[in-house]
Amino acid sequence: MPCLLLLVFLIQSWAVKAQQVYDRNIFILAGQSNMAGRGGVLNNTGTGIATWDGVVPPQSRPNPSVLKLDAHLTWVEAREPLDADIDSRKTNGVGPGMAFANSVLEKHPDFGLIGLVPCAIGGSNISEWERGKELYFQMIKRAKASLRDGGTIRALLWYQGETDTVNLHDAQSYQRRVHKFFLDVRDDLQSPLLPIIQALNINDVDILQPR
Ligand SMILES: *[C@@H]1O[C@H](CO)[C@@H](O)[C@H](O)[C@H]1NC(C)=O
Ligand SMILES: *[C@@H]1O[C@H](CO)[C@@H](O)[C@H](O)[C@H]1NC(C)=O
């Protein structure tokens, strides 16, 4: 009888585990520094060295239900700075990813596990995210790796564009380039209706107006 109980217990815990993994809600976080996170990064104008002040605001605190895919494609507990091992040539601070995940869980406590896939690179322009280029390749590779243990990619969170405001030609080409990028991502992830949540700086809104 104890044996049977143990068996029932084991089957139940496997089922719970399988359920959790199956339910993993994956979000791809891509773009430039605004997504990678520079909150709390202080530039010492004397030495030119940037350091993160280590302050994690309450809305960005770690949560046992929020994981991230690290640079080795392993799921680990998500902690700020989320992008430190991805945008590793820069000093990273607090970004929007953790606050987004915590806010989703606050509004929907039964949402299940969240898996964040940081991919943002500071200073990158939209051409570097073109299909065939390294940043695009890495993002798709990480997105596909995130699905290995089950789960569903719920959305791409995209925060990029400031680098493309430096010259007029890039600014005028942005709408076309970003549109192509979104279609390619949906195509390569075989998710034609993948929601894409885009943050805009007020200054970028002009260049996205249809012309
Ligand atoms: C520090 O420098 C980086 C890179 O030049 C810049 O993105 C960031 O806004 C600066 N931060 C502050 C607090 O000045
Ligand atoms: C985008 O950035 C890359 C790498 O810095 C650079 O080589 C390229 O010229 C830039 N492309 C555009 C269109 O600005």
pLDDT in tens, 158-194: 999 999 999 999 999 999 999 999 999 999 999 999 9
**Residue 67, CA distances (Å) to 27, 97, 162, 193, 200 in order:** 10, 11, 28, 24, 26
CATH number for the segment(s) 23-208? 3.40.50.1110
Residue in 33, 125, 173 to alter for ligand 2 test, most ligand atoms within 8 A of Cβ: 125
* Domain ranges, ordered by start, for the chain: 23-208
Which SS3 state, helix, strand or coil, does residue 19 take? helix
Q: How many angstroms separate the CA atoms of 124 and 130, rounded?
A: 11
Who lines ligand 2 at CB under 6 A? 125, 127-128, 170
Angle at the Cα of 36 from the Cα atoms of 159 and 202, rounded to 5 degrees: 35
Ligand nearest to the CA of 165: 2
Ligand nearest to the CA of 43: 1
For the CA of 42, the closest atom of ligand 1 is 13
pTM as predicted: 0.85
Cβ atoms 151, 115 nearer than 8 A: yes
pLDDT in tens, 13-52: 554 454 455 579 999 999 999 999 999 999 888 898 999 9
For the CA of 90, the closest atom of ligand 1 is 4
What are the strands, taking DSSP E only, across the chain?
25-31, 41-43, 50-52, 66-69, 75-77, 114-118, 152-159, 196-198
